[in-house]
Amino acid sequence: MPRRLAPALWGLAALLVLSAALEALVRSEALPKLVVAAPSDTVVAIWHLVAEEGLLGALGATLLTALGAVAAAIVAGLPAGYWLYKHPRFGRAYRNWLGALFAAPLVLVYPVVLVLFGRTYVSTGFMGFIVGVIAVVLYTREGLAAVPLTLVRVGRAFNLTPEQEFWKILLPAGAPMIFTGIRLGTIYALVNIIGVEFLINFGGLGFVVSEAYDKFDIPGMYGAIVFVILVSGGMLWLLKRLQLWLRPA
């Protein structure tokens, strides 16, 4: 148990040391308070945001929007990636296009999405979905294509149906690459969702950050950013547990 906890304890110790150093730099005015908030002020601001500004409600809104966007990306992306794997010609033809789309700043299309869906959670969720699904499709196709042919031939020797082949061979063997795509899609989805919340002044944590920024409440802005980091870490932890459940070894 101590060995398993050692990385987390070392990380916590490093965080405490950095927080103490940042506190000293801000208090000594080596760093301007209008740019960087002292950690102690950020903690007080978090309490104020929770008590008076509805931070927990904003956290729930962003979390539910992100979970819905990522779940939709998985539901749509896995079959699309599998189809590209089963049709190698199309897979080779569209791989570079998907890579180019994944690298493009798709957050810039948010005005079009606002026209289609209005200033709603559907808009923020859709902005997360469009980047998440590209990553899932791309990495699902790459992960399935990397499965050794020996495993596929063994399955066919046992007369597995295409569905059994997918669930018993392809998905477990391609899980590392597939979950890499899901994790990347989750990160980019969160970036898009929170970025659009900030831009349109609507929604969850992005809206809280925007409000604090407009009021020059620097500690409050950093406090909301702390919760953004917590959402990101929590979703990546859930994906890691799901991957271990699917493929324990």
Can you list the residues of the chain whose pLDDT is less than 70?
1-2, 247-249
- Domains for the chain: give ranges and CATH numbers: 40-246 (1.10.3720.10)
Cα 144 from chain centre:
22
What is the 3-state secondary structure of 154-178? HHHHCCCCHHHHHHHHHHHHHHHHH
Report the C-alpha dihedral over residues 5, 6, 9, 15, rounded to 10 degrees.
-130
Residue type, 140: T
Predicted confidence at residue 1, as pLDDT, reads 52
Predicted confidence at residue 71, as pLDDT, reads 93
Whole-number Å distance between alpha carbons of 190 and 196: 10
Residue type, 78: L
Whole-number Å distance between alpha carbons of 73 and 92: 21
Whole-number Å distance between alpha carbons of 174 and 139: 9
Report the C-alpha dihedral over residues 233, 234, 238, 239, rounded to 10 degrees.
-30
Report the C-alpha dihedral over residues 232, 238, 241, 243, rounded to 10 degrees.
-80
CA distance from start to end of the chain: 19
Angle at 64 between CA 63 and CA 70, to 5 degrees: 90
Whole-number Å distance between alpha carbons of 224 and 175: 33
Predicted confidence at residue 248, as pLDDT, reads 62
Whole-number Å distance between alpha carbons of 124 and 133: 15
Whole-number Å distance between alpha carbons of 104 and 191: 13
Q: How many CB atoms lie within 10 A of CB 121?
A: 18
Predicted confidence at residue 227, as pLDDT, reads 86
Whole-number Å distance between alpha carbons of 235 and 223: 19
Could you tell me the pTM of the whole model? 0.84
Residue type, 86: K
Tokens found for residue 219 = 């500690």
Whole-number Å distance between alpha carbons of 106 and 228: 20
